[in-house]
Amino acid sequence: MADLRVNVCGVPFKNPVIAASGTFGFGKEFNEIYDISVLGGISTKGLTLEPRLGNPMPRIAEGYGVILNAVGLQNPGVEEFVREDLPFLRGKDAVVIANVAGRTIDDYAGICARLDGLVDMIELNISCPNVKCGGMAFGIRPESVKEVTRAAKSALKKTPLIVKLSPNVESIAANALAAQEGGADCLSLINTLTGMVIDIERRRPLIANNTGGVSGAGIRPIAVRMVYEVCQAVSVPVIGMGGITCAEDALEFIIAGASAVQVGTANFTDTLAMPRIIAGLNDWLDRHGVPNIEELRGTLRLNG
């Protein structure tokens, strides 16, 4: 048995596999299929101070090896989460990460203050491509990345802050640095890439929101490249994600420098994807005589 434990800015994970925000709800549904305590962590559905209804239907479409979604942050609001869902998550043996979003800087600070000390980590969603204000609006320019990160960080006394970065930017490394300067304890990337699928018969986009966030196996090479670039640029730990479907995919991100990984779309294709990835990591490490997964982190050697 290899040692899969990782430590991300002081938070111990029993393995580096985390459910990605928006694909796993608050864990209750997948827990009907397997005990979600096997996971390293769970990043919740994006939360806002007030409940949100999200975007009109349809909210999902498929491309080759990818999907597009535009749910638009539908969620019950932070108070219902604290009352109804957090006790369940706290009862599970996995790191609880609250993914949070807002319309204004004050919203971000407010929801961080509300959840401070109640969850293990907070993941600042400044990269949702599917809402008109807030979300990605804060995640495009380094100046606003730094500003919203600073506001969130100053609202937090106990809980470490992850900033989730958008790939739909000029330089993700520049934004990563801006988040670090704003006080981020950790970074996660990549959120979805903005895309469009057209119904040629109706000559309309398939998704009601017109554009959606592209995720799934097909985006993995882009995500690996961005995680590598960000790991080179910053000193805080990085959580990598984007198209991970198996243990070998996860290892690419870890070798590129990520401390842990998130798995999203693969949960749709295979509800047991994450338990399989955890078992697969153990098998791979054992087969390669690597006793500890942390030994692999950032071991990439470039050609030439």
Partner 1 sequence: MKDLRVTVLSNAPIAAGVNQMTFSLPERVEGLRCGRFVNLSVGDGAHLLRRPIAICEYTDATVTICYQIKGAGTKLLSQKKAGDELTCVLPLGNGFVLREEERRVALVVGGVGVFPMISVLKEYAGTGRAFCSYIGFRNAASVCGEKAFRAESERVSLVTDDGSFGEKTNAVAAFFADFDKAKPDVILSCGPAPMLRALKAGLAERGVKVPCYVSLEERMGCGVGACLVCVCDLANGARARVCKDGPVFEIGEVTL
What is the contact surface with partner 1 in residues (CB under 8 A)? 22-25, 29-30, 32-33, 45, 53-54, 57-62, 64-67, 69, 71, 74-75, 216-217, 265, 267-272
Residue 281 CA to residue 285 CA, distance in Å, equals 6
DSSP single-letter state for residue 12: E
Q: Show the tokens assigned to 102.
A: 């807002």
Q: Is 128 a catalytic residue?
A: yes
CA distance 228 to 256: 5
Q: 66: Cβ–Cβ under 8 A, 6 or more apart, which residues?
A: 195, 214, 215, 216, 217, 218, 219, 243, 265
Q: How far apart are CA 53 and CA 59, in angstroms?
A: 12
Element (H, E) at 186: strand 186-189
Query: Which of 112, 128, 186, 231 is the catalytic position?
Result: 128
User: By three-state DSSP, how is residue 119 classified?
Assistant: coil
- Tell me how far the alpha carbon of residue 230 is from its chain's centroid: 15
Q: How far is CA 245 from CA 4, 23, 187, in A?
A: 18, 14, 21
Inter-residue contact 2 to 286 (CB < 8 Å): yes
CB 227 within 8 A of CB 261: no
Position 269, amino acid: T
Q: Which residues pair with 61 in a beta bridge?
A: 68
State the Cα–Cα distance between residues 46 and 124, nearest whole angstrom.
9
In whole angstroms, give the CA distance from residue 197 to residue 201: 12
Q: Which residue's CB is nearer to partner 1, number 46 or number 257?
A: 46
Which positions are catalytic?
A: 128
